[in-house]
A = this chain, B = another copy of it.
Amino acid sequence: MLEPSQLDERKQRILKAVVSDYTLTGIPVGSQVLAAKYFLALSSATIRNELADLVGTGYLQQPHTSAGRIPTDRGYRYFVDFLMQPEAAPSAVRRAVKQEFEIAPHNLEGILEKAAMVLAQITENVSLVTAPETSESRIKHIDLVSLEAQSVLIILVLEGNLIKQQVVGLERPTTQDDLSRMAAMLNRKVRGQSANELTTRLSQLGPDRGEQRRILERLVDSIKSHQAQRQTVVLHDGFRNLLRHPEFVDVTRLEELLELIEQGAQLAGILQQVAFEKDVEVIIGRENTSSGLRECSLVLTTYKMADRIRGTVGVVGPTRMPYGQIVARVRLVSQMTSEALGNLGN
Q: Which one, B151, B157, B165, B251, contacts A345 given CB within 8 A?
A: B151
Nearest CB of chain B from residue A250's CB, rounded to whole Å: 9
Task: For A137, list chain B residues within 8 Å (CB).
Answer: none
Nearest CB of chain B from residue A150's CB, rounded to whole Å: 11
A145 to B141, CA, bound (A): 7
Residues of A within 8 A of B (CB-CB), count:
35
A224 to B151, CA, bound (A): 29
B155 touches A163 (CB 8 A): yes
- Is A249 on the interface with B (CB-CB < 8 A)? yes
Q: Which one, B148, B161, B167, contacts A165 given CB within 8 A?
A: B161
Given contacts A244-B255, A255-B240, contact A140 B145 (CB under 8 A): yes
A262 touches B240 (CB 8 A): yes
Task: For A122, list chain B residues within 8 Å (CB).
Answer: none
Task: For A161, list chain B residues within 8 Å (CB).
Answer: 147, 153, 165, 167
- Is A72 on the interface with B (CB-CB < 8 A)? no
- Is A106 on the interface with B (CB-CB < 8 A)? yes
5 cross-chain pairs, A with B, having the tightest CB-CB distances, nearest first: A106-B167, A243-B255, A141-B145, A240-B258, A143-B143
15 more CB-based (< 8 A) A-B contacts, given A143-B143, A151-B345, A239-B258: A105-B165, A106-B166, A140-B145, A143-B155, A145-B157, A147-B344, A147-B345, A153-B161, A155-B155, A155-B157, A180-B184, A240-B259, A240-B262, A243-B255, A244-B255
